[in-house]
Amino acid sequence: MVHQDVELKRGLRDVYFESTESSFVIGDVGRLIYRGYDIHDLAENASFEEVVHLMMVGHLPNKSELEQFDNTLRQSRSIPNEVIQVIDHIKNGHPMDVLRTAVSSLAAFESDVDDTAHDATLRKGMKITAQVPTIVAAHHRIRSGLSPIDPDTSLSHAANFLYMLSGDKPDQDTARLMDKDLIVHLDHGSNASSFAARVTASTLADVHGAIVTGISTLKGPLHGGAAEGVMKMALDIGEVDNVQSYLEGKRERKERIMGFGHAVYRAEDPRARHLREGSRLLAEKKGDPKWFQILSKVEEHMRPYAERGICVNVDFWAGSVYYLLGIPEDLFISIFAVARVPGYVVQILEQQDKNMLIRPQIRYDGPMDLKFIPIDQRS
């Protein structure tokens, strides 16, 4: 029953609702640009902190700008004891559920929570960026029966995150791999969770609320949850020789293969390259090549799908990197959140700077002109 003669753009595919200067996903050729710089250039040559400055402030920092910016991030990492208590009370929840609740509770400790001026959002956004790894690590330690580890300001953002999770300071290669992982996950055009964060920001709600919206949206298996699914698949497959029969079974049941396909990319996701290489190197270093071999074989068997534009995406290799770093699977999305939260801040700033309430239309297909029947006369 259609009452309105309007064309639907389901899932808002191919709808441009705003313009951005932060990131550009070029789907047909598989390119990703951050403020004019190719993601490969940044992943190979920049630190995560430099890229966060580029994205939040608008240009690559010089040495003294980076020092000041990085110092602010390092000094902002700790979280109030009350938030640690909140985490303790809900420690049995999924890490993403705990994260969104903890970020929400951080708002209670800001005196200017409703200030949506550019400088206020940037300051609070940098602080949340610095605090999110502390929340993720504190929750993981508390649920494991261990005490949270205080942030170490002598370590980079990536190295400190790994240190707070495990208690061991990572070597340079491992810290750099996590750094790269955070860089390639930072921003990605109008992805579902950044769009959701923008919708919240467009009502002039506060930055904490908009980030909670983003984190909640990221959790879904069609978005941030795929890396967890990929590693589950690798574990289910178990041996390289099982890959073909496993994929045939999936195909017969018309089930999706996690880590393949993308709403925008019709070529290989450019972010996958860095994590594939990271996974290969880690497998070599740890003397545990099995998962890299299984996933390489899955990639090989999925090649025919590329003709339909279903290619490998960033999550395919991310999962194996985290697994080889000894990180439990239910924390994989939280790592994506550690990287993507500054991306939300960038898009929330853009939204607030030239705000327009995001309020699309939805076509009504329901019944009309029904007559109200009092409750005692209804069958």
List, by residue number, the catalytic residues: 262, 315
Distances from the Cα of 86 to the Cα of 29, 43, 165, 187, 362, angstroms:
45, 35, 18, 29, 38
Give me the least distance between CB of 17 and ligand CMC, in Å please. Answer: 17
Nearer to ligand CMC, 26 or 310 (CB): 310
Q: Which among 323, 93, 139 is positioned nearest to 230, based on CA atoms?
A: 323
Give me the least distance between CB of 320 and ligand CMC, in Å please. Answer: 14
* CA gap 242, 231 in Å, rounded: 15
- Tell me the three state secondary structure of residue 298: helix
Q: Determine contact, residues 148/142, Cβ cutoff 8 Å.
A: yes
Nearer to ligand CMC, 51 or 257 (CB): 257
Which residues contact ligand CMC by CB under 6 A?
A: 188, 191, 222-224, 226, 256-263, 310, 313-315
* CA gap 159, 141 in Å, rounded: 17
* CA gap 176, 47 in Å, rounded: 8
Nearer to ligand CMC, 83 or 237 (CB): 237
Q: Determine contact, residues 151/164, Cβ cutoff 8 Å.
A: yes
Give me the least distance between CB of 230 and ligand CMC, in Å please. Answer: 7
Residue nearest to ligand CMC (CB): 261
End-to-end CA distance of the chain: 24
Nearer to ligand CMC, 163 or 344 (CB): 344
Nearer to ligand CMC, 118 or 256 (CB): 256
* CA gap 219, 212 in Å, rounded: 11
